[in-house]
Amino acid sequence: MKIARPATAIATNKPIMMKPPGSKTKAQVWVVENGKMRSHFDQLATEEPLEIRLVSPQKTVAVTMRTPGADFELAAGFLYSEGAIRSREDIERISYCVDRDVDGEQRYNIVNVKLREGLSVDLQPLERHFFTTSACGVCGKASLEALRSRSYSVILKGLEVTTEAIYSLPEQLRNAQRVFSTTGGLHAAALFDAEGQLLSVREDVGRHNALDKLIGSAVLSDQVPLNNHIVMVSGRSSFEILQKCLAAGVPIVCAVSAPSSLAVVLAKEFGITLVGFLRGERFNIYAGKERIRIEEA
């Protein structure tokens, strides 16, 4: 698979210096405190649209509002989670779009994905993703029936982890959120091993995007399925958070906040251990409690 590097300059009659959008944007804010107003500059999490296109067949499969950065991982993770690809080998090339009609300008908000020749992709399930928002995820809820039709297997119960390993996840996640520390406006998804050691983390204004970036990183480095790992997300766990983890084979999913009712149903049906309200040395188990090893005092 080829991953095209972003251009830094394009030779034309007037050379155009290309710079990808950053994850943070400076903005002037006015703080009102104790009846007085003062002005200063603050850092905001950047939010811009990203269009994911298939080259052959040529089709836009998703438009999502995201924080720029790890865009190729986001595209790969999205396609993997939706069942369009099964491995890194299914992707022949990922690149940003180059607009030949505008002096070869590189379009950092459009990612082109060329799948391997001969790969058959059912595009109909992807139509519900034509526009997604960073806040609510995909508009148009998927169903358990759709997951059953993809023949996902129940995740085996071999992995067990200690409560101490689970307790350690939130602090590691917070410490690894570099952009959040300066903007206060990003979600994160992190991958841990069975001992609770942090392996990787991705941030984005959207919870679903952060998880797609994390899974996409694993896809592009040939680490899937993630059947001996833990995933933690910074917000709540929705149906689609669980659906993406199921596609990647993740046996344990943890969240800072509550799960949705449909997320719990999915976790129980497909054998995922679902942990919510993980804060300090306390958490709730909504499904798969047999994977959490309680050490007697």
Structure tokens at 115: 């799948």
Closest to 4 measured CA to CA, from 70, 90, 60, 72:
72
- Total residue count of the chain as it appears in this document: 297
Closest to 124 measured CA to CA, from 87, 96, 82:
82
Peptide bond into 68 cis (omega under 30): no
Q: Which residues pair with 44 in a beta bridge?
A: 25
Peptide bond into 225 cis (omega under 30): yes
C-alpha to C-alpha distance for 293 and 57, rounded to whole angstroms: 48
Q: 3-state class of 195 per DSSP? A: coil
Query: For 222, phi and psi rounded to 5 degrees?
Result: 55, 45
Structure tokens at 211: 């998880």
Q: Which residues pair with 26 in a beta bridge?
A: 43
Does 254 participate in catalysis according to the annotation? no
Please identify which of the residues 97, 136, 139, 254 carries the catalytic annotation.
136
Which of the residues are catalytic?
A: 136
